Structure 1
Amino acid sequence: MNAEALQHILNIISPIFIMIGLGAALKAWNFITDDLAEGLNKLVFWVGIPVFLFYKIAAAEKSFSDVLNLYYVVMIGVGVSILAALLLSLVLKLDRPSKAAFLQGSFRGNILFIGLPLAVFTFADQGAGKIEEIEELVLLSISLLTPSFNLIAIFLLVSTTSKIDIAFPARVVKRLIKNPIIISVLCGLAYAQVFDSIPLPVERSCRIIGQMTLPLAILSIGANIVASRGASDFNTAFLASLIKVAVGPAAGFAAIYFLFDMQYEQQVIAMLLLACPTAVSSFVIAEQLGANKNLAAAIIVVSSILAAGSTAGVLYLLQ
């Protein structure tokens, strides 16, 4: 790798991980208190991201058919990651709560808070028009991936930690319809079918909220890493993290090479989404559904460290 290529890759990934580090430092120094961190999480999850997604989906010029191959590539990577994690969990003879956290942590990436800004920074030097196009592609992909990830995570966690009973489908549906990201996508799609455009004051308000959301989300990731660290499960967490940031992207790369004819931009987006670290939300759902929350926290920490290398590797392979 020559110096110019290395500098280009560092220019893309370093702002994200510097912001994560800043969030972690602010939390460690108590500039971000527990109450503030919780408030930021709620603001981003319940207001910022839903408004941003609604606006982008409602105003999108592209459709879901434009990102189907991208979706398939990511889901192939996810499927291979889950299979690898399942086999390794049997070898490690993990107990049921640890197995549940291990399986979820090996596939559920932070595709919105890390994947989106990484993709935008990758093409930032090509102008505002290209950035808008990349944002549309990523958000349309996330709109398909989010319900898929939720379904898979809930199934793996519940089936691993407890028996699936007749009420299981109802619990899954209830959790999905209460997800603000899924609600915002459905509202955006409905709006686009009925109206031709978004009123200018609403559009500008949504833009401002969108510009606020991603920096706050990335800072929150760093704060949450400090708040939920779990070093006692490091060895197991390292293996799950390695599957997340290495096995998944390798499977996705093979799918792109052998199975799908994709535009360069979509190849980069798919690989970056697969190389993202484990989502912080995996800790919350692990705690709620009886998985090993300490292991879930450790996977978030370790995968966030390893993801700096995996995202750089992806960008190098596809440059």
Structure 2
Amino acid sequence: MLDNFVFSLSVALPIFLIMLSGFILKKRNIIRQDFINAANFIVFYIALPLKLFNSVSQSAVVENFNFKFVSFAIVGTAISVVIIYFYSKLFVKEDTKVGAFIHGTFRGNFVYVGFSLIENVTGVIGPLASLVVAFVVPIYNILAVLVLVLTNPDNKAKNQFRNSLKNIISNPFIIAIVLGVLASLMKFKFPPLLQNTANYFDVLATPLALLTIGATFKVDKLFVDIKSAVAATIFKLLINPAIAVLAAFTLGFGNSEIFLIYILFGVPTSISSAIITAAMGGDENLAASIVMMTTLGSVFSLTFFVFIFRAIGIV
């Protein structure tokens, strides 16, 4: 049991030590906003897209495509939004906060935190995790627009849907995965010089992403509308992944798939949820509070779930 606990800590804790480093460096004014902006640009437009391209292009896409798993990810995400809507009725009394609550509770930081956890456990991202991004990221955006429009009648749905579609098409992650699929099918390979360069960016992506997450952490946001934020955190980090994992067991998924399903549904809330919520007229304070609280709480939830998975032989 001690070995399992040590393994769990060694997998989950480094992710948050890097985040903590970013937070401390920002507090000490070593990292400044200009650096954060530049780092986010590098991660979003260069490093992570290259990481996704590498993962997909170097795998046999057709052989590795798992329709059952991808369908579970899409349908499960949609169902979770419906469950969260009814769950919100217990804790959110103001209609203006419902959209922020739902969005913050279903949208996980799968690419940044999830990829880090997968790499720590398995050593590689794997083609299935990369392909899930191609389907889940668009679903996140579509559901976000639906939730925030339907819970805030002042929004103009037509414009929001148009912007959402544009964001999906132009998303660097989606473009990288599509190009990776084409490269895999055509058996395209970079020349060694370019591949080695891409590999450096691949290695850079995860730590730089985690560093910038920590640098943007604002402690004061933890205590904004704390009751709703705690309720969202409990559902996001414990209830939602537990339901998803139990469903995956029932449907007969394998160990690696179950672990990936846990990560998809159990990682902390993505920072983009707060950004999108604010842009669409939702309650930005509650959205930010959920991001901060789930990020902090996931230090314990990820360690706990990895420990359980290790004890029963899933990882």
Amino acid across the alignment from 2:114: G
Counterpart among 271, 283, 288 of residue 274 in structure 2:
283
Report deviation, 1:304.
Answer: 1.0
Q: Give the one of 212, 218, 233 matched to 1:226.
A: 218
CA contact (8 A) 1:12 1:122 kept: yes
Q: Is the 8 A contact 2:91 2:227 kept in 1?
A: no
Shift of 1:65: 5.5
- Tell me how far apart the structure 2 counterparts of residues 22 and 168 of structure 1 sit (CA, whole Å): 37
Asked if structure 1 preserves the Cα contact closer than 8 Å seen for 2:240 and 2:266, the reply is yes
User: Does 2:130 correspond to 1:139?
Assistant: yes
Residue 308 and residue 81 in structure 1: after superposition, are their counterparts in 2 closer, same or farther (change >3 A)? farther
Given residue 115 of structure 1, which amino acid in structure 2 is its aligned partner?
G
CA distance in 2, matches of 1:12, 1:92: 33
Stretches of structure 1 lacking an aligned partner (at least 5 in a row): 124-130
Partner SS state of residue 106, structure 1: helix
| 3-state SS of paired residue (1:137) | helix
Where does 1:107-122 land on structure 2 (aligned, <5 Å)? 107-122=106-121
1:245-260 alignment runs, 5 A limit: 245-259=237-251
Give the one of 214, 229, 252 matched to 2:206.
214
User: Are the aligned partners of 2:145 and 2:160 in contact in 1 as well (CA < 8 Å)?
Assistant: no
**In the alignment, which residue of structure 1 is the partner of 2:58?**
59
Q: What is aligned with 1:156? A: 147
Could you tell me which residue of structure 2 aligns to residue 81 of structure 1? Answer: 80
Q: Structure 2: how far apart are the matches of 1:228 and 1:100? A: 22
Unmatched runs of 5 consecutive residues or more in structure 2? 311-315
How far apart are residue 161 of structure 1 and its match?
2.2
AA at the equivalent of 2:285: N
Cα contact 1:80–1:248 (8 A) shared by 2: no
1:29-40 matches, cutoff 5 A: 29-40=28-39
Is the 1:77–1:249 Cα contact (8 Å) retained in structure 2? no
Which residue of structure 2 aligns with residue 22 of structure 1? 21
Separation in structure 1 between the aligned mates of residue 238 and residue 120 of structure 2, nearest angstrom: 21
State TM-score, norm by structure 1. Answer: 0.88
Cα deviation for residue 212 of structure 1 reads: 0.7
Aligned-pair identity (%)? 24
Compute the TM-score of the two structures, normalised by the length of structure 2: 0.89
Cα offsets for 1:186-218 (capped at 9, x unmatched): 222233334532322222111110101110000
Structure 1 residues 34, 97: closer, same or farther in 2, change over 3 A? farther
Task: Name the CA distance, whole Å, in 2 between partners of 1:88 and 1:155.
Answer: 18
- Output the amino acid matched with 1:284: I
The number of residue pairs the alignment matches comes to 309
Cα-Cα RMSD:
2.2
Q: Contact between 1:105 and 1:278, CA under 8 Å: does it hold in 2?
A: yes
**Larger deviation, residues 241-250 vs 86-95:** 86-95
Q: Which residue of 1 aligns with 2:283?
A: 292
Q: Matched residues in 2 for 1:228 and 1:62: separation?
A: 45
Task: Write the distance in 2 (CA, Å) between the matches of 1:71 and 1:246.
Answer: 22
Partner of 1:71: 70
CA distance in 1, matches of 2:20, 2:93: 31
Between the aligned partners of 2:193 and 2:262, the Cα distance in structure 1 is 36
Choose from 265, 278, 286 the match for 1:274.
265
